[in-house]
Amino acid sequence: MPSPTANTSLPSTSFLEVFRAEAGTSGCMTFERFMALALYHPTVGYYQREQKRVGYGRDSDFFTATSTGSLLGELIQAACQTLLSPQELADYTFVEIGAEPNSGIFTGVEHSFGATRAIRIGEPITLNGKCVVFSNELFDAQPFRRFEYRANAWHELGVQLRDNVLHEISLTPSSLPPVLPAAAPEHYHIDLPLAAVALAEQIAAQPWAGLFVAFDYGKTWRELIEAAPAGTARAYHRHTQSNDLLARPGQQDLTCHICWDWLAAALEKNGFAIPQIETQESFFIRRAADFMARAVTAEASQLSQRKLSLLQLLHHLGQKFQVLWALRQSSSF
């Protein structure tokens, strides 16, 4: 990976200080550790700094389903009424994990849940009783390990600081994750979203019953090891996707595709009924069709912002994102 050269892409002085302190005398660390610093360090991390991340303006970096305003919350409630029942919603607490500060999908939205909670990035995750646990692009932003197959062996990719510039390097791992295939084409990259699985395990292992719903993007394990030769790691800054993962750490988002097979297995292991994975478009059409029909009919004579937002959720984002959902009837498992 080329090292950044433009001044706007260089690490800040504050990030360099943190990196040096964490790296020690070696001056290097795994990519997973670098990503944890770049995204979640309490003072220089991208998700910890006071800045606008989500939206359509030039001062934001990406937009998601939450960018459509109240419509997402209304659609999620309609889907929950289908998957649970309208009469039962008052018995459930709706818990949104990873919500942006001062926001949530039910902000300003009338709802029928007994209560709502928003767990921000870095806050403890505690769940009990009857819940609907929802996340939007939470798992793809968890730190991941990077590997490249070269000269008949897997090499872990890391980051080294030389002359105040971050460089990608190869490390010799003490042990390789057993999930890696025995062999691969030369220079095949695999980005392993292991922390995302650990997070799913943490959520599923707690004493709650109800509905798990995660909006995200990912691939099957087979797709990751056979159909993604360059890996799936990406950076996002000012609505531009980049492969320069080391640029402007703390000021750009880093992400990779999650492995749906692994997250589904984590849920099943913890007593959830067979998890379902479908496109965002399919999820809403199947679970919130009546609500969408009413919304479109109410504004049939105009192409309103609300209808435009619905089209975006169904079509522009509807194929790009998938939904993993599953039910657990009891917290005793």
Average pLDDT, the chain: 88
The pLDDT of residue 59 is above 90: no
The rounded distance, in Å, linking the Cα atoms of 248 and 269 is 39
User: In the chain, count of helices (H) and strands (E)?
Assistant: 9, 16
Is the pLDDT score of 273 beyond 90?
yes
Higher pLDDT, residue 58 or 17: 17
Q: Which fold has domain 54-243+256-325?
A: Rossmann fold (3.40.50)
Residue 318 has pLDDT above 80, yes or no: no
What local confidence, expressed as pLDDT, does residue 97 receive? 96
Between residues 228 and 332, which one has the greater pLDDT?
Answer: 228
Per cent of the chain over pLDDT 90 is 66
**pLDDT tens sequence across 8-29:** 578 899 999 999 999 999 999 9
Which of 77, 79, 83 shows the shortest CA–CA distance to 114?
Answer: 77
Question: Hey, CA dihedral for 280, 99, 145, 35, is it positive or negative?
Answer: positive
What confidence category does residue 63 fall into, taking pLDDT thresholds of 50, 70 and 90? very low
Specify the pTM.
0.88
Predicted confidence (pLDDT) per residue in 140-158, tens digit:
999 999 999 999 999 999 9
Listed ranges 73-87, 175-189, 298-312; the one with the highest mean pLDDT: 175-189
pLDDT at 9: 73
Question: Rounded to an integer, what distance in angstroms lies between the CA atom of residue 329 and that of residue 283?
Answer: 21
| The pLDDT value given to residue 310 | 72
Six token digits for residue 191: 């980005």
CB 306 within 8 A of CB 71: yes
For the chain, the domains span 54-243+256-325
* Averaged pLDDT, 119-124: 88
